[in-house]
Amino acid sequence: MWNFPLHPDRASSLALHVDILLYAWLALAGVVTVAVLFLIVWFAVKYRHGSGANRALPPDAALRRRNHRIEAAWIVTPLLLFMVMFGWAAVLYYAHAAAPANATEIYVVGKQWMWKLEHVGGQREIDELHVPVGRPVKLIMTSQDVIHSFFMPVFRIKQDVLPGRYTMLWFTATKPGDYHLFCSQYCGTEHAQMIGHVVVMEPAAFERWLESGNASQSMAQEGAARFRQYGCSGCHGPSASVHAPKLEGLFGRRVQLADGTSTIADERYIHDSVMLPRKDVVAGYEPIMPSFQGQIAEDDLLDIVEYIKSLQDALPLEGK
């Protein structure tokens, strides 16, 4: 316990950029703080009560002019420095806001008090995340109950994980190792136990890990089974007698809604269509779909989402 590091490991492509920004801030804040403290101490000694220092001020008009110049200087200088720092941090943030298109997707469900993760190939993990070095990874996250936050200090990133919504986090790991994974948004009694590991592996080792995993079938296959189990196929399947939107080729497409607006059929759209079917009713269909709120767990729903995504390239069987 006596040797603690001065900075957390840097294990993502972003980490060094964040640290450089931090060091720049330390330098700037250090200079300003030391300058202020130096002036306070210097004046406190030089102008201490009873010292013989010269306390005469210039005549009023000259004093006022000089003071205005000083004031203007220390309004404008901090403002300019602050704008530079704002811009730097904002550009870095913006550049890392959207995941690259080729990122490997991994699904995350937070629940009191564990992390459940699932790879597209169907490998499931609890409180552990295995990722390869050098490949962008995108986490698609939601919560089963309260707000959590997925925090990996060595990657310098975190993102709150919300119930009823998908949030996203991405990174490219750069250094193999076993690192901390924390929940950083207070989520109840066992919040401090909602921790785990991020295991960064060489690509070959990662492939071996994927194959040796516990996956009997991929997420999409799992999702297809759920799709039948929850009765979705009864209406949305090819032989359905009910007038329900077809799901082949749906993902990523723009959907016209009954209220005249339109939306992109992304993960959120599919999630809400299952849980809150009255929210986005597709134009031309009756709002007859029942809500599955409280009946289907978030991780099962993710399998279904992945199944519907897998139908992306299938031709729509009918309609537009």
Partner 1 sequence: MSTVAVPLRGSYLEAGFSLWSWLSTVDHKRIAILYALSITAFFFVGGVAATLIRLELVTPAGDLVSAETYNKLFTMHGVIMVWFFLIPSIPSTLGNFLVPLMIGARDLAFPRLNLASWYLYVAGGLFTVGALIAGGVDTGWTFYTPFSTMFSNTHVIAAVIGVFIVGFSSILTGINFIVTIHKMRAPGMTLFRLPLFIWSMYATGIIFVLATPVLAMTLFLITVERLFGVGVFDPALGGDPLLFQHLFWFYSHPAVYVMILPAMGVASEIIPCYSRNNIFAYRSMAFAVLAIAIIGFLVWGHHMFVSGQSIYAGMVFSILSFLVAVPSAIKVFNWTATLYKGSISFDAPMLYALGFVGLFTVGGMTGLFLASLALDVHLHDTYFVIAHFHYIMVGGAVMAFLGAVHFWWPKITGRMYSDRWARFAAIVVFVGFNLTFFPQFLLGYLGMPRRYHEYPPEFQVLNVLSSAGASVLAVGYLLPLCYLLWSLKYGARAGSNPWRATGLEWQTPSPPPVENFVSIPEVTEPPYAYREKDRSDG
Of 94, 212, 239, 241, the one binding partner 1 (CB under 8 A) is 94
| Alpha-carbon gap, residue 6 to 26, rounded angstroms | 14
Q: Which stretch binds partner 1 (CB under 8 A): 74-82, 221-229, 242-250, 260-268?
A: 74-82
One residue of 62, 66, 71, 211 binding partner 1 per CB under 8 A: 71
**297 is a contact residue toward partner 1 (CB under 8 A):** no
Residue 190 binding partner 1, by CB under 8 A: yes
Q: What minimum distance in Å lies between the beta carbon of 147 and partner 1?
A: 6
Residue 165 sits in the site that holds partner 1 (CB under 8 A): yes
Of the candidates 120, 133, 136, the one whose C-alpha atom is nearest the C-alpha of residue 213 is: 120
Cα–Cα distances in angstroms (integers) from residue 155 to residues 2, 151, 250, 271, in the given order: 24, 9, 34, 28
For position 90 contacting partner 1 by CB under 8 A, the verdict is yes
Q: Answer yes or no whether residue 75 interacts with partner 1 by CB under 8 A.
A: yes
Query: Judged by CB under 8 A, which stretch of 88-96, 126-134, 218-226, 235-243 contacts partner 1?
Result: 88-96
Distance between CA atoms of residues 112 and 114, nearest Å: 6
Chosen residue from 114, 187, 198, 305 binding partner 1 by CB under 8 A: 187
Q: Which of 27, 134, 186, 264 binds partner 1 (CB under 8 A)?
A: 186
Count CB-CB contacts under 10 A for residue 190. 11
CA-to-CA distance for 174 and 9, rounded, in angstroms? 11
Q: Binding of partner 1 at residue 145 (CB under 8 A)?
A: yes
**Tokens for 213?**
């995993």
Q: Which of 13, 104, 167, 221 binds partner 1 (CB under 8 A)?
A: 167
Please report how close the Cβ of residue 50 comes to partner 1 at its closest, in angstroms: 8
| 66 forms part of the interface with partner 1 (CB under 8 A) | no
Among 107, 115, 151, 171, binds partner 1 (CB under 8 A): 151
Q: Name the strand (E) or helix (H) holding 17.
A: helix 15-46
> Which stretch, 156-164, 208-216, 237-245, 310-318, contacts partner 1 (CB under 8 A)?
156-164
Cβ-based burial of 174 (10 A; exposed 0-12, middle 13-18, buried ≥19): middle
Extract long-range pairs of 84-88: CB within 8 Å, 24+ residues apart.
85/24, 85/25, 85/28, 88/21, 88/24
Rounded to an integer, what distance in angstroms lies between the CA atom of residue 62 and that of residue 253?
A: 70
Whether the CB-CB separation of 227 and 158 falls below 8 Å is answered with no
Contacts of 227 (CB under 8 A, 6+ apart): 233, 236, 304, 307
**Does residue number 89 form part of the binding site for partner 1 (CB under 8 A)?**
yes
Q: Is there binding between residue 175 and partner 1 (CB under 8 A)?
A: no
Contacts of 154 (CB under 8 A, 6+ apart): 8, 9, 10, 11, 12, 15, 175, 177, 179, 180, 198
| Candidate segments 17-25, 119-127, 228-236, 237-245, binder of partner 1 by CB under 8 A | 17-25
Question: Site residues for partner 1, window 208-267 (CB under 8 A)?
Answer: none
Which residues inside 36-65 make contact with partner 1, applying CB under 8 A?
36-37, 39-40, 43-44, 47-50, 53-57
Q: According to CB under 8 A, which one of 16, 65, 93, 211 is a site residue for partner 1? A: 93
